[in-house]
Amino acid sequence: MKHTISVLAAAAVLGSAQSAMAQTEVEFWHAFTGRLGELVAEQVETFNSSQSDYTIVATHKGNYSETLNAGIAAFRAGEQPDILMVFEVGTATMMGAKGAIKPVYEVMGSGFDQSKYIGSVKGYYTSPDGDMLSLPFNSSTPVLWVNRDKLQEAGIDPDTDLSTWEQVGTVLDQLKEAGVDCPMTTAWQSWIHLENFSAYHDVPFATQSNGFDGTDTELAFNSAAQVAHIGAMGEWAKDGKFIYAGRRNEGGANFRAGECALFTESSAGYAGINAEAEFDFEVRPLPYWTAVASEPQNTIIGGASLWVMEGQSDEEYAGVAAFMDFLSSAEIQAKWHQDTGYLPITSEAGDLTRSQGFYEANPGTDIAVIQMTAKEPTSNSKGLRLGSFDQIRGIIDEELEAVWSGDKDAQTAMDSAVERGNALLRRFEQASR
């Protein structure tokens, strides 16, 4: 009798130990609120209820910068999460932190098929050997948004060709003449008009393949092509054809309110514009200068990727791998792509979206995908890998503002931005030695 009780007790202890082991908690820190936050919560919920081994605990940690800082502070205190969302400009910082991160291809193990991910999306986050260091989560690319009603009012054919900046320039003249207050505005000026501009025209933004080949990289966006573009934009700003609204996506409010005819903004602006715009709008590919390139190269991405932090248990890493596998599945990716306007990270998800008839029902939503994937990326269009890049963007913003206000000419401003940015790159190089 006594014997039976002890066996039962042992069984009970084992049983409870097993149920505790059954649910490995995986911590996931992200930067999404609002509609995107809900969609992330939905993904996590779907994953958690689809299996019983792991529980993903998703926590919002503020905006992109705050999330990165929270991750860094937590790592220093030994309390880091399993998965940390880091925006694309933090990529070099994370890559430099060997010993703090565990590359995704290692976490995913030997059966990991990296070829299913779209090259120009994953390229931003791969090692020089082509191995994925983090998992792209939300990626978008800049496109040209057109208010067709505004063009029509100004007596311009709304179907007019806007694929080159030369053509855009002519249309801006016509819009101004017709008395339009805001012919064009932009969001994310550095990302669109310098970083993507360089990739799209296949000119270097920085040396050492935009920083991919080493931290001894130097900024190179003060060359003729970029200066000509910024100079033209500066002229447009002076003539009131380009209206500057702010460093982030402040211009979006003006476009959605129907004030502006043309708007260069991320493809992920789709959800907001679609919800608010009370006019006929259209997505066009980002324009290029025929004077610089006979045809455009690909654009690069913006957004964030998921990094796996070092120092966790094997069970947790298994949970991370299962979750990342789930995120990469065609159904989940296709849904995410269609809900948010972010690019699909696998070609399967793109194909599935097409076969579901989404692109036909929502014309223009595939422009971003085509623009990203039409050409194989070159060393100038794979992405950027520069340290302290959040701050360098701040410097670029300041110098661009000086051009828009007429304080500096394009060459002086770009030279100054390069010089100031290089000082930060040298600091980063020294810190990551």
Partner 1 sequence: MEKRVTFKGIWLPLLLVLPQILITAIFFFYPAGQAIWQSLFIPDPFGLSMQWVGLGNFEYLFSDRYYRASFVTTAVFSILVTVVSMGVALYLAILADRLIKGSGTYRTLLIWPYAVAPAVAGVLWLFMFNTRVGVVTWYLGHLGYDWNHVLNEGEAMGLVVVASAWGRISYNFLFFLAGLQAIPKSVIEAAAIDGAHFWTRFRTIVWPLLSPTTFFLLVVNIIYAFFETFGVIHTITSGGPQQATTILVYKVYSDGFVGQDLGSSAAQSVVLLFIVSILTVVQFKYIERRVHY
**243-272 positions binding partner 1, by CB under 8 A:** 244-247, 250, 253-254
Quick check: 424 binds partner 1 (CB under 8 A)? yes
DSSP structural state of residue 26: E
Quick check: 133 binds partner 1 (CB under 8 A)? no
| Cβ pair 288, 364 in contact under 8 A | no
For residue 94, give both structure tokens: 């994370």
Quick check: 99 binds partner 1 (CB under 8 A)? yes
Of 274 and 405, CB closest to partner 1 = 405
Of 59 and 65, CB closest to partner 1 = 65
Look up residue 361 and give its amino acid: A
Considering only 41, 97, 271, 330, the residue that binds partner 1 (CB under 8 A) is 97
Look up residue 11 and give its amino acid: A
Q: How far is the CB of 8 from partner 1 (least distance, A)?
A: 49
Of 244 and 279, CB closest to partner 1 = 244
DSSP structural state of residue 286: P
Quick check: 69 binds partner 1 (CB under 8 A)? yes
End-to-end CA distance of the chain: 68
Quick check: 311 binds partner 1 (CB under 8 A)? no
Rounded Cα–Cα distance for residues 76 and 92 (Å): 18
**32, 60, 295, 337, 419 from 37: Cα distances, Å:** 5, 8, 38, 15, 39
Quick check: 17 binds partner 1 (CB under 8 A)? no
For residue 314, give both structure tokens: 């094997």
Quick check: 407 binds partner 1 (CB under 8 A)? yes
Of 354 and 420, CB closest to partner 1 = 420
The count of chain residues that interact with partner 1, using the rule CB under 8 A, is 39
Which residues make beta-bridge pairs with 29?
59, 84
**367-406 positions binding partner 1, by CB under 8 A:** 388, 390-391, 394, 397-399, 401-402, 404-405
From the number of C-beta atoms within 10 Å of its C-beta (0-12, 13-18, 19+), residue 290 rates as: middle
Phi, psi of 249 (to 5 degrees): -110, 35
Look up residue 37 and give its amino acid: G
Q: How far is the CB of 430 from partner 1 (least distance, A)?
A: 5
| Cβ pair 206, 386 in contact under 8 A | yes
Considering only 37, 62, 96, 311, the residue that binds partner 1 (CB under 8 A) is 96
245-255: burial string, b at 16+ Cβ within 10 Å, e else: bbbebebbebb
For residue 191, give both structure tokens: 């990302």
**218-247 positions binding partner 1, by CB under 8 A:** 244-247
Of 93 and 380, CB closest to partner 1 = 93
Of 65 and 378, CB closest to partner 1 = 65
Of 48 and 432, CB closest to partner 1 = 432
For residue 369, give both structure tokens: 């995908």
Q: How far is the CB of 145 from partner 1 (least distance, A)?
A: 17
Quick check: 274 binds partner 1 (CB under 8 A)? no
Rounded Cα–Cα distance for residues 399 and 246 (Å): 13
Of 23 and 65, CB closest to partner 1 = 65
From the number of C-beta atoms within 10 Å of its C-beta (0-12, 13-18, 19+), residue 37 rates as: middle
Of 227 and 417, CB closest to partner 1 = 417
Each residue 74-93 as x (binds partner 1 by CB under 8 A) or -, in order, gives: -xx----------------x
For residue 153, give both structure tokens: 């009012």
Quick check: 176 binds partner 1 (CB under 8 A)? no
Q: Which residues of this chain interact with partner 1, rule CB under 8 A?
A: 65, 69, 72, 75-76, 93, 96-100, 244-247, 250, 253-254, 388, 390-391, 394, 397-399, 401-402, 404-405, 407, 420, 423-424, 427-428, 430-433
